[in-house]
Amino acid sequence: MHEKRFWVYIVTDKPYGTLYIGVTNDLARRVYEHREGLVDGFTKKYGLKRLVYYEEYPTPVEAIEREKKLKKWKRDWKKQLIEKFNPTWRDLYVDLQL
C-alpha cells in the first residue's frame, strides 16, 4: 500500500520577495500549478512560482497545523527558516522532477 504524504511549502517570486505558504498532498503537482498559473488566487496574482521551502508530514492534520503556525510567524522568521533550508533561495522545483 502506498503511503500518503503531505507537504507544507513556501513559494515566492524572487529571493526575499512575496511569500506564500500552502499545504498539499502532491508537492510536484501543486508547484507545477503555481508555476503555470493554473489556479486563480494570490500566487497567480503575484507571480509566485519559485519553490524555496518544504516540509513533509505523515498526516493532513499535522501539515495543516504547521501551515497555520507558519502563516502566523513574523516575516523575518520565515526568511530565516527558508535560508536555513535553502541558503541561496534556489528554485527547488527542479529537484522534484525525478
The grid coordinates listed for 54 are 518544504
Q: CB neighbours (10 Å) of residue 32? A: 16
DSSP characters over 9-57: EEEESSTTS-EEEEEES-HHHHHHHHHHT-S-SHHHHHT--EEEEEEEE
pLDDT of residue 1: 47
Q: CB neighbours (10 Å) of residue 78? A: 18
**10-62 confidence digits (pLDDT tens):** 999 999 999 999 999 999 999 999 999 998 999 999 999 999 999 999 999 99
pLDDT of residue 97: 66
Q: Is the model more confident about 97 or about 81? A: 81
Examine the pLDDT at 98 and tell me if it is beyond 50: no
What global pTM score does this model have?
Answer: 0.94
In the chain, the domains with their CATH numbers are 6-96 (3.40.1440)
